[in-house]
Amino acid sequence: MTPIAKFHTWRRNLRDGLKVNTLATAEDRRKAHRYMLWIDHEILRIPWANFAQVAPGVYRSNQPTRARLERYAARGIKTILFLRATSPVPPYLFARENCAALGLTLVERSLSARSAPKRERLMDLIETFPTLEKPFLMHCKSGADRASLASVIWLLTQEGASIAQARKMLSPRFIHFKWTKTGILDYMLDTYEARTARAPIGFAEWVATEYDADALQAGFDNKVTPR
């Protein structure tokens, strides 16, 4: 076994050993904290927030630590939009516990970043946005991709922003790189932009009536230029 293979095996075993689905006991919590630090990379999120304002009263970041959530709550943040999977693993368990303890409303709308998001998830997010109490913070794991996508959609559907303005949310400034698999998000925006060049259509209407996740993914995979 190569050194790289040994490392991946070690990491997988560590992850599986720490992936608890409850915070009920002291041992569960100890494992969950270790999972967050070393498997979920919270050790990087302690000094680095990837925080930015999207629009007045709307913010984005990576998954906040408890200390950061306390500071956000003290600044008046009312709502947390959780964009990660809601399976009972430490990231979600701590998000739910921390928001409850701090009196923050937790809203869960899972998105994907390495494959074309499903239409129903996009529509669910679009329909959720007007119901969120401001100020609110949206976050995924690193604040790089799913938070970028949600920020783009907010600007297009709630702020009347141009595609060029919204595209700034998909940026290396947020550690989003279009040459990776998460470039599917840029490709989605490119496809929408090409559609609006033919005839104007709102983003929400486009998603509801024309968006096809499978076709979008196939076009991205095969490097088809949107038109």
The predicted pLDDT at position 21 comes to: 94
pLDDT at 89: 95
**Is 80 exceeded by the pLDDT of residue 214?**
yes
- pLDDT value, residue 115: 97
Does 73 reside within a domain? yes
pLDDT of residue 4: 82
- Res. 8: pLDDT tops 80: no
Same domain, 17 and 113: no
- 5 in a structural domain: yes
Q: Are residues 20 and 65 in the same domain?
A: no
Residues 145, 169: one domain?
yes
* 55 and 35 in a common domain: no
Res 16: pLDDT? 79
Higher pLDDT, 225 or 11: 225
Judge if 9 and 103 occupy the same domain: no
Same structural domain, 55 and 152: yes
- What are the pLDDT digits (tens) for 12-67? 877 778 889 999 999 999 999 999 999 999 999 999 999 999 999 999 999 999 99
- Same domain, yes or no, for 75 and 185? yes
In the predicted structure, residue 10 carries a pLDDT above the cut 80: no
The CATH code of the domain that includes 157 is 3.90.190.10
* In-domain check, residue 86: yes
Choose between 120 and 11: higher pLDDT.
Answer: 120
- In this structure, are 185 and 140 located in the same domain? yes
Q: How many structural domains is the chain composed of?
A: 2
Residue 227 included in any domain: no
Q: Quick one: pLDDT at residue 130?
A: 98
DSSP bridge pairs for 138: 60, 81
Q: What residues make up the domain containing 21?
A: 1-39
* 60 assigned to some structural domain: yes
Residue 1's pLDDT band (boundaries 50, 70, 90)?
confident
Same domain, 61 and 104: yes
44 part of a folded domain: no
156 within domain boundaries:
yes
Three-class SS state of 149:
helix
Per-chain mean pLDDT for the chain: 96
pLDDT score for 133:
98
Q: 139 and 30: one domain?
A: no
Does residue 137 register a pLDDT over 80?
A: yes
pLDDT at res. 68 = 98
pLDDT in tens, 88-122: 999 999 999 999 999 999 999 999 999 999 999 99
Please report whether residue 45 resides in a domain: no
Q: Which residue has the tokens 């943040």?
A: 77
Query: Which residues contact residue 118 at a Cβ distance below 8 angstroms, ignoring those fewer than 6 apart?
Result: 112, 213
96 and 120 fall within a common domain: yes
Q: Which residues contact 101 (CB under 8 A, 6 or more apart)?
A: none
Examine the pLDDT at 123 and tell me if it is beyond 90: yes
The answer to whether the CB of 138 falls within 8 A of the CB of 60 is: yes
Cβ-contact 83, 111 below 8 angstroms: yes
Residues 99 and 2 placed together within one structural domain of the fold? no
